[in-house]
Every structure is written in structure tokens, then in C-alpha cells.
Chain A
Amino acid sequence: MKGMLIKDFRLLKNQGKTLVLMLLVIAVFMNLMTDVGPSFIVGYITIIFSMFTVSTISYDEFDNCYLFLMTLPVTRKEYVNEKYLFTLLSIIFAWCVGLVLGTVLLVIQPSAKIDAVEWIETCLGYVFTAWIFVSILLPLRLKFESEKARYANLIVIAGVIIAAFLAASAIDYLPGEIVGTGKQWFSGLSSAGILGMFAGITAAVVIISYLCSQHIMAKKEF
């Protein structure tokens, strides 16, 4: 797995440098020219970069390279393990870059009122969002070739939006006491509690995604 990680970090170094620079420039420009806040900048850099980490699978597919990779001392299981480890680690890296930039932009703002704990909590939420994001993308990318994966992504995003809309609409039809109790429980949660719940959901999504990816890879024909 170490060899595969080196490969992906080398790909990242070769191909991702420009992306990181571009993201930083756009982020600073957005912060200075528009009214988006530093917290948006952290989310923007983390989530956009997370998409790039998934695209290392496209680099593996280039020139049918996938086939060759599977002849190296790497099992299918290890390949999936490596992809998850790599994407999750890369997202932390992108988040750190975003966090440093966001913090700098926050500090230099004259009207800034910084609550360090709240700031870190908000930003941590973006790591979880990005992890959920790649957890949806990775199994799709492993299952479908790049062109088909693009359509699959669109379908999944549309599915998530429709599901969220249906869930929100369903609240109106639920008995009042259940909704009331739920709202009460949720509003009673501290920000750390909400973050903890978010972390739990993220962990569940990552695990389900990982298991799906292992299943897809085990069945894959090259």
C-alpha cells in the first residue's frame, strides 16, 4: 500500500500544485471582492480539492493503467484501502491549507470578532462534508468509467436533493408531538454535540461507502 500511496502523492504533486495555487488565488479574490466570509473559503478549498483527490482514479485509468497496477504487489482490497486513506488524508491537507488562509483572512479583517472554538468547529464541519462527498464519489468512480461516473454523480446529487426535499416535506405529515420532541432534542444540543452527531454520520457514511467500494472492486473485471 505504501507504494500506491507514494504513486498517488506523486500524482498529486505533479498535477495538484496548480490546482492548489488556483484555489488559493480565487479564494483570496472572492474574499476581497465579494462578501463571502473566511469560513466559506475554508469549505471551498476543502471540498473542491476533495474532488481532485477522487480524480486520481482517472489518472489510474489513463492509458489503461488500472490493469497494470493490479499486476503489481497490490491486492484489490489494498487498492481500495489506499484510495480511502489517500483521499481522507489529502482532504485533511487541503483543509489545513484552507484553515490557515481562512484564519489569516479572519484575523486581518478589521471587524473580526474571533471565537476560536466556534471557528474551529465550523471549519471541522467542512472536513466532514468533504469526507461525505468523497464517500459518495469513490464507489461511483470505481464502479463506472469516467464518462458514466459523471452521469452517475449527477443522478446521485439529484437523488440526495429529492430525498432531502421529501424528508423536509414529510415533517409536516408527522404527528406534532414527535416533531416537537425532535426539535426540542436538536435545539438542546450544544455546538459540540451537533459536531459530534455530524462526525458520527460522517463515520457511518465513510464505512458504508468503503464496504460498497470493496464489494465493487472485488467484482471488477479488467
Chain B
Amino acid sequence: MLEINGLVKHYGDFTLNCTMKVESGRITGLVGENGAGKSTTFKAALGLITYDAGNITLMGKTPAELMKTEKEKIGVTLAESGFSGYLKVKDVVPVLEAMYPAFDRTKFLDLCRKFGVPQDKYIKEFSTGMKAKLKVLAAITHGADFLLMDEPTTGLDVMAREGILNLFREYMEEDENRSILISSHISSDLESLCDDIYMIHKGGIVFHEDTDVLRNKYGLIKADEDQYRKLDKEYMLRVRRESFGYSCLTDQKQYYLENYPDVVVERGTLDEVITMIIGGEKL
């Protein structure tokens, strides 16, 4: 669906250097702090900005080649952008109808009602959560094959967030060839939804792993000075000094569980992996 190879974009001091792939039938997550380069990656993939080097193909076309027919097949939400605040949802409906041949008006309006998105109120008067919901609902109701969701859950409360994540799951169940690229700085959202996750830090991809592998094989070893000295370091990805001794990130949790029964090995949540990848030291 989307392939980015060696994308380079310079913005003053900031340089984005990104290689990633979103395969058909998969939900791929892009996690990183604000300013890490998530939105720039989305903009480059969609042809909204030029880039200095690299190749991007989105549904088989370069961003510059994306025409109406390809754009009809993608659904997009961008972090800081949406419909004009001077429109109401009832104005947006005929716009979407005219733009997308497969727009499902009934489904869109039903979902608006379900998620409490008012139809007769200017969008500029919407709360952040309402705006976020509207963007997602508009993206998933026109039969898109590929969703590019940049921070779709920002500003949503826990219940609304779960509702939106369920919509993405339903969207994928409807057609096995669909794909989603979703970015977030809320890692728990991605962990429960995505098939694989890329982590972006200061403009570069620093980590990529399947969520299943992350869940089953990654672990956080907590060891005191003495235990740490005895540990096999071969499968340690990162180490960080702590008050109690050391935290170590491994992608061979089972090995340490079996061979070092006296050492604490916790499940590696995405948050912990992020913290260790960014803050830990490579051995």
C-alpha cells in the first residue's frame, strides 16, 4: 500500500530520514513524540510537501502522480487540519457525496449520531474531541482501501478513543485487503490495534517490530548490580542505569526467564520499549 525508501526532508535544523512500509491487510503504527517527524512523513506520502531524497509509492503511484481516482481510495486525517470551521456537518455531507462515489451517507450520519457529532453546529465551535471524531468518520465512510490517520485519537476521552479504535477494527474486518497507517503519541492505542509498529525519534526510524513479537518476546529485565554482572548480555538491546541497579530491554524474554529465575523479567509494553530505545544505552 505504502512504501517509503530513504525519504529525506530538511526543515532548518530538523532532518527526516525515514524508511518504512505498510503492507496490504495490515495496520501499521507510527509512534513518536511531538516533533519527531510523524506528520512530515504523512505530508510527504500524500504529496503535500516536496522532499530532498528518497522514493515514496502510495498505492503504486508516487505522491506527485496521485490523481483523483487514487485519492478517492484513501481516507486521511491530519493532526492539525480538517474541514473549515465555517462549515457545519450538514454542509460537509453534500461535499463528501460529490467527492467520493462510494460515500455512505446513511452510515456517516448514523455514526455522527452515535458519536455525538452535531450536524447543525459550526465546526469551529466543536470541541477537540468532536473535531477528531468527525475527521475519522469522514475518512472511513467512503469505501477507502487505505487509511492514513495522523493522530486520530488526539483530544478524545478514553471511551471515545476506544470507540474510534473499534471503528478501525470493523473497517479492517470488512475487507481483508485494506490497510491503515496510524500515528499516535499514545502508545497503548497502537499496541492494542496495530500489527506492526515503527518508532520515530528526532526524524529517524529507530525501531520496527511486529506487535505480536513485541508482546511475546520483548521483556524488561530488572536486575541489581550483582545480578546484572552475571547476566548474558548477548540478547540485550538497551541498558539503563536505575536506582536499584539496571533495566535491560531484551527481545528474548523467554531465555532470561528460563535461565535467570531469580531476576525480574517484566512484559515489555510499548511505552517501556520506547523509553528504553530512546533513553537506554546500546551495548
Picked from A6, A67, A73, A75, the residue with its CB within 8 Å of the CB of B81 is A67
Known contacts: A71-B46, A75-B68. The answer to whether A2 contacts B88 by CB under 8 A is no
In the assembly, what is the distance between CA of A68 and CA of B48, in Å?
A: 10
* Interface 9-residue window, one of A56-64, A89-97, A126-134: A56-64
List of A residues within 8 angstroms of B68 by Cβ: 73-75, 78
Contact of A59 among B72, B81, B86, B98 (CB under 8 A): B86
Size category, B interface = 35 or more
A7 and B87 contact, Cβ closer than 8 Å, known pairs A67-B78, A75-B67, A222-B49: yes
Counting CB contacts under 8 A, is B94 at the interface? yes
Q: Please, how many angstroms separate the alpha-carbon atoms of A71 and B96 in the complex?
A: 12
How far apart are the CA atoms of A222 and B87 in the complex, in Å?
A: 21
CB–CB A14/B96 < 8 A: no
- Is residue A167 within 8 Å, beta carbon to beta carbon, of the partner chain? no
Chain A interface, number of residues (Cβ within 8 angstroms): 27
Establish whether residues A222 and B43, one from each chain, have CB atoms under 8 Å apart when the complex forms. yes
In the complex, which residues of chain A have a beta carbon less than 8 angstroms from the beta carbon of B87?
Answer: 7, 10-11, 14
Q: For chain B residues 9-60, which have a beta carbon within 8 Å of chain A?
A: 43, 46-50
**Is the CB of B192 closer than 8 A to any CB of chain A?**
no
User: Does chain A have a CB within 8 A of B71?
Assistant: yes
- For A71, the closest partner residue in chain B by CB is B76
Question: Given the complex of chains A and B, what is the CA–CA distance between A143 and B49 in angstroms?
Answer: 15
B91 within 8 A of A: yes
Whether the Cβ atoms of A63 and B84 lie closer than 8 Å is yes
Contacting B124 at CB < 8 Å: which of A11, A62, A66, A72?
A62
Q: Which residues of B contact A2 (CB under 8 A)?
A: 98-99
- Whole-angstrom distance between the Cβ of B77 and the nearest chain A Cβ: 8
Q: Is the CB of A72 within 8 A of B81?
A: no
The reply on A35 being an interface residue by CB < 8 A is: no
A63 touches B98 (CB 8 A): no
Q: Which A residues touch B50, using CB under 8 A? A: 221
Is A63 in contact with B95, judged by CB distance below 8 angstroms?
A: no
Question: A15 within 8 Å of B by Cβ?
Answer: yes
Q: Do residues A68 and B82 form an inter-chain contact, with CB atoms below 8 A?
A: yes
Distance of A7 Cα from B98 Cα, bound (Å):
10
Query: Which of B71, B86, B97 makes the CB contact (< 8 A) with A73?
Result: B71
Complex CA gap A221/B49 in Å reads 5
Known A-B contacts A7-B87, A72-B71, A75-B68; A64 and B80 likewise in contact (beta carbons under 8 Å): yes
Residue in B78, B96, B135, B148 with the greatest tally of chain A CB atoms within 10 Å: B78
Tell me which residues from 42 to 94 in chain A have a Cβ below 8 Å from any Cβ of chain B. Answer: 59-60, 62-68, 70-75, 78
A3 on the interface (CB 8 Å rule)? yes
Residues of A within 8 Å of B88, CB to CB, are 14
- 8 Å CB contact of A7 from B69, B78, B82, B84: B84
A67-B48, A73-B72, A222-B49 given as contacts; is B96 within 8 A of A60 (CB)? no
> Is the CB–CB distance between B95 and A71 below 8 Å?
no
Please, what's the 1-or-0 string for A1-23, where 1 marks a CB less than 8 Å from any CB in chain B?
01110110011001100000000
Pick the contact of B76: A68, A75, A221 (CB < 8 A).
A68
Question: Which chain B positions have C-beta within 8 A of A64?
Answer: 78, 80-81
A residues 133-175 touching B (CB-CB < 8 Å): none
Q: Report chain B residues within 8 Å CB of A71.
A: 46, 48, 71, 74, 76, 78, 148
CA distance A71 to B147 in the complex (A): 11
How far is it, in angstroms, between the C-alpha of A67 and the C-alpha of B81 when the chains are bound?
6
Selected A-B contacts with CB under 8 Å, 15 pairs: A4-B95, A6-B98, A10-B91, A14-B86, A59-B86, A60-B84, A62-B85, A62-B124, A63-B80, A65-B85, A67-B78, A68-B76, A70-B48, A72-B71, A74-B71
10 additional A-B residue pairs with CB within 8 Å, beyond A4-B95, A67-B81: A3-B94, A7-B84, A7-B87, A7-B91, A11-B87, A62-B86, A64-B81, A71-B71, A75-B68, A221-B48
**Ordered nearest first, which 7 A-B pairs have the shortest CB separation?**
A3-B99, A3-B98, A71-B76, A67-B81, A10-B91, A73-B71, A222-B48
